[in-house]
Amino acid sequence: MIRVQREDFDVGAELERLTAGNHRIGGVASFVGLVRDMGGSDRVAALNLEHYPGMTERKLAEIEAEAHRRWPLDAALIIHRYGRLEPGDQIVLVATASSHREAALAACQFLIDWLKTEAPFWKSEATPAGERWVKARAEDDAARARWTPPL
């Protein structure tokens, strides 16, 4: 399941809902991304997340379907927020559930690695020096490249 929303989410409630009624699930893996403030001259007062409505949902659904093809998952969930966020706020939740931990852990990492390079979201940061666009990181491309073949 995927959701793109402005509102915050409750991780505990989401994980409970993900596994409710399915007693074959033996493990749940999750990743929660937070707004970071490194302090100093890089102080981030706020983050604005923009996305491409329509394509975002489409790409997230594709990525989720690919995870289901690669691993025996009982359930998967991606929630990604947009709009104005502050340091410490939750940005994204990826959760996967499976009979065994290997599939859940690997699929969770796959989903966040792919999401970061495929889903059309862009961050801009409000800093003391003004607004600046966050640049894409080569490390994110390398993380995604581990999961071959491509979609």
Q: What is the contact surface with other proteins in residues (CB under 8 A)?
A: 33, 49-52, 54-55, 58, 80, 91-92, 112, 115-124, 133-136, 140
Q: Which is nearer to other proteins, 22 or 34 (CB)?
A: 34
Q: How far is the CB of 46 from other proteins (least distance, A)?
A: 15
Q: Which is nearer to other proteins, 94 or 97 (CB)?
A: 94
DSSP 134: P
Q: How far is the CB of 52 from other proteins (least distance, A)?
A: 6
> Which phi-psi region, left, alpha or beta, contains residue 130 (left: φ > 0; alpha: ψ -120 to 50)?
left
Q: Which is nearer to other proteins, 4 or 106 (CB)?
A: 4
Coil, helix or strand for 41? Answer: helix
- Residues written for the chain: 151
Question: No. of H helices and E strands in the chain?
Answer: 4, 8
